[in-house]
């Protein structure tokens, strides 16, 4: 204790010295570091930092110990609270502060990586990927960034992407080996498609305009389609039913195909002179601008081509804004799947979940991998992998995650003021989940009493109906 107060008193002096003196010649710094840990080699450490061009000296071991109030006792696994100072790998008596610089921005966003709850145990692979960590392809008329299996290897069934289209720009004509599902994050657009029987479809798609919930769409595997932004531009999340989405043989662009087929064959196929195809793009543009703006929002029918086969039997667009909420004690949910309300979406089930401040998506699990996308807000989730193994992650807008099939989990809204809004996505025809509370409420009382040593009166308060989101 005495040593700490002496060091605390020394700090202003150390700072003053550091800002003027040569760091390597600075005996106080060296002594300071030796006192922290006799095993470290301060001169080597400082030399390495100089070589790396790092000039600032963080005497964080003392500075932050003095300020930190990270966990209030008793430590029951709550999130670390670094009270505004730089996060450190310290939790109560465990851990030790950094001696060299860490990536503070990433540490700040992931307090459960750096000072995990004491309930975390074992080795759970990484289950989180931020779209912000993805490479973004900037193109004429927009951009695209992805989360695929090389980014998040634990997500084998599902990959995701975000695409932005400038006003009136297109995602060019294409099809996929896998199913494609989309959620409109912003703006407005128009999709069109033709199915294997020649039935066609055209529809407008809208983001969360004026506070309403956005549209989603689904294209079955193989169904060729187009997507165009309307005059407000368009940003959307895409989900594909294969984590290895960039594998050869997954996406097929029309212009790419024609540019890589002998021209006389193309001409014969369409029954025209080869000169007709002289000006097609030699490389596929992926995204391209339009030369003539499309009819405005709500005027999609003006572009519909009379189709002798008629329209597809099941619409490819679903308007979440027209769906009833499932009201929960801590928020609401809207579930879309092929069994309940979105018949065409046979390979993708989804739920839009709204969690009120401090509320929580209850402890539950699924029979398929859950792919998570945070639309807005901040959340915390622990993935329980069985066998005394679990790991806690922190999420915010634009983050993706995966809870492998059967892993128990919750998602808690960390904000006392802002809602947490996210999507749960499954490569499955139907949304299915199991609730821990409902299970215990409907299990013979003595079985639960004997296992958990809680009273029958307490178990009586557990809800027999699924709560989905608890307050
Ligand atoms: C963190 O700790 C500080 C100081 O004890 C307190 O004022 C603040 O409310 C805490 N923040 C959270 C999110 O618990
Ligand atoms: C959104 O609200 C504004 C203001 O009330 C209105 O002018 C606009 O038409 C609305 N947009 C849509 C797509 O409903
Ligand atoms: C194809 O078009 C070119 C240029 O218009 C013309 O010279 C040629 O005769 C045409 N070929 C056929 C087979 O029609
Ligand atoms: C149940 O918990 C109480 C303390 O609340 C303890 O006295 C008792 O021994 C426990 N019973 C069993 C069977 O573990």
Instruction: Name the pTM for this structure.
Output: 0.85
Q: Work out the angle at residue 377's Cα, subtended by the Cα atoms of residues 376 and 382, and round it to the nearest 5 degrees.
A: 110
Closest to 91 measured CA to CA, from 109, 108, 76: 76
- The residue whose CB lies within 8 Å of the most ligand 2 atoms, and thus the one to mutate among 189, 210, 321, 322, is 210
Domains in the chain: ranges and CATH? 2-114 (no CATH), 129-319 (2.60.120.10), 324-470 (2.60.120.10)
Please state, rounded to an integer, the average pLDDT across all residues of the chain.
90
- Active-site positions? 424
Residue 249 has pLDDT above 90, yes or no: yes
The predicted-structure confidence for 200-223, as pLDDT tens digits, reads as follows 999 999 999 888 999 999 999 999
Average pLDDT over residues 148-154: 96
Residue 5 pLDDT level (bands cut at 50, 70, 90): very low
Does ligand 1 have an atom closer than 6 angstroms to the CB of 78?
no
d(CA 362, CA 228): 38
Spatial CA neighbour of 243 closest among 16, 26, 425? 425
Specify the residue with its C-alpha closest to ligand 1, atom 9: 83
* DSSP letters spanning 326-367: EEETTEEEEEE-TTTT-TT-TT-EEEEEEE-TT-EEEEEE-S
CA-closest residue to ligand 3 atom 4: 275
Give pLDDT, residue 81.
Answer: 87
Per-residue pLDDT tens for 431-442?
999 999 999 999
Model confidence over 280-326: pLDDT tens digits?
999 999 999 999 999 999 999 999 999 999 999 999 999 999 999 99
Q: Is the pLDDT of residue 372 over 70?
A: yes
The pLDDT assigned to 50 comes to: 64
Q: Model confidence over 112-137: pLDDT tens digits?
A: 999 999 999 999 999 999 999 999 99
Helix (H, G, I), strand (E, B) or coil at 164: strand
Does 58 belong to an annotated binding site?
no
Pick the atom of ligand 2 nearest to 212's CA.
14
pLDDT per residue as tens digits for the range 92-103: 888 999 999 999
**pLDDT class of 426 with cuts at 50, 70, 90:** very high
pLDDT score for 154? 96
Q: Predicted confidence band at 269 (pLDDT cuts at 50, 70, 90)?
A: very high
Q: What is the pLDDT of residues 36-81, one digit of tens each?
A: 555 555 555 556 556 666 555 444 443 334 345 567 678 899 999 8
Higher pLDDT, 244 or 38: 244
b or e along 173-209 (b: 16 or more beta carbons within 10 Å of the residue's beta carbon)? bbbbebbbbbbbbebbbbbbbbbeeeebbbbbbbbbe
Q: Is 27 in the pocket of ligand 1 (CB under 6 A)?
A: no
């Amino acid at each position: 204790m005495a040593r700490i107060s002496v060091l605390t008193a020394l700090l202003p002096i150390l700072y003053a010295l550091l800002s003027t003196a040569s760091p390597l010649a600075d005996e106080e710094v060296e002594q300071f570091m030796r006192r922290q840990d006799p095993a470290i080699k301060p001169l080597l450490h400082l030399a390495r930092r100089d070589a790396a061009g790092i000039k600032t000296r963080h005497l964080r071991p003392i500075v932050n110990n003095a300020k930190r109030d990270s966990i209030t006792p008793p430590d029951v696994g709550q999130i670390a609270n670094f009270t505004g100072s730089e996060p450190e790998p310290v939790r109560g008596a465990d851990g030790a502060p950094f001696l060299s610089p860490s990536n503070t921005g990433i540490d700040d966003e992931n307090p459960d990586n750096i000072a995990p709850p004491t309930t975390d145990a074992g080795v759970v692979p990484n289950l989180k990927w931020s779209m912000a960590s993805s490479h973004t392809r900037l193109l004429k008329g927009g951009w695209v960034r992805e989360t695929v299996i090389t980014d998040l290897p634990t997500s084998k069934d599902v990959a995701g992407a975000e695409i932005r289209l400038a006003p009136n720009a297109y995602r060019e004509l294409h099809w996929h080996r896998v199913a494609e599902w989309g959620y409109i994050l912003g703006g407005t657009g128009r999709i069109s498609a033709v199915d294997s029987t020649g039935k066609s479809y055209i529809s407008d798609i809208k983001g969360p305009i004026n506070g309403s919930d956005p549209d989603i769409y689904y294209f079955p595997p193989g169904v060729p389609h187009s997507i165009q932004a309307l005059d407000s531009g368009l940003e959307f999340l895409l989900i594909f039913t294969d984590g290895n989405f960039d594998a050869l043989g997954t996406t097929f662009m029309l212009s790419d195909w024609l540019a890589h087929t002998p021209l006389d064959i193309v001409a014969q196929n369409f029954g025209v002179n080869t000169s007709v195809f002289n000006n097609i793009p030699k490389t596929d543009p992926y995204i391209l601008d339009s030369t003539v703006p499309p009819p405005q929002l709500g005027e999609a029918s003006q572009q519909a081509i009379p189709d002798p086969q008629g329209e597809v039997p099941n619409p490819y667009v679903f308007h979440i804004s027209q769906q009833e909420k499932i009201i929960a004690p801590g928020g609401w949910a809207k579930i879309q799947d092929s069994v309940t309300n979105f018949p065409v979406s046979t390979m993708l089930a989804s739920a839009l979940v709204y969690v009120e401040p401090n509320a929580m998506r209850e402890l539950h699990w699924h029979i398929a991998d859950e792919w998570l996308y945070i639309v807005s807000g901040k959340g915390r989730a622990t993935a329980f992998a069985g066998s005394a193994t679990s790991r806690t992650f922190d999420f915010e807008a634009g983050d993706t995650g995966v809870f492998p099939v059967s892993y128990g989990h919750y998602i808690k809204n960390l904000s006392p003021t802002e809602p947490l809004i996210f999507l749960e996505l499954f490569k499955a025809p139907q949304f299915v989940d199991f609730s821990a509370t409902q299970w215990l409420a409907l299990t013979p009382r003595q079985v639960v009493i004997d296992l958990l040593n809680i009273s029958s009166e307490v178990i009586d308060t557990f809800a027999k109906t699924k709560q989905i989101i608890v307050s």
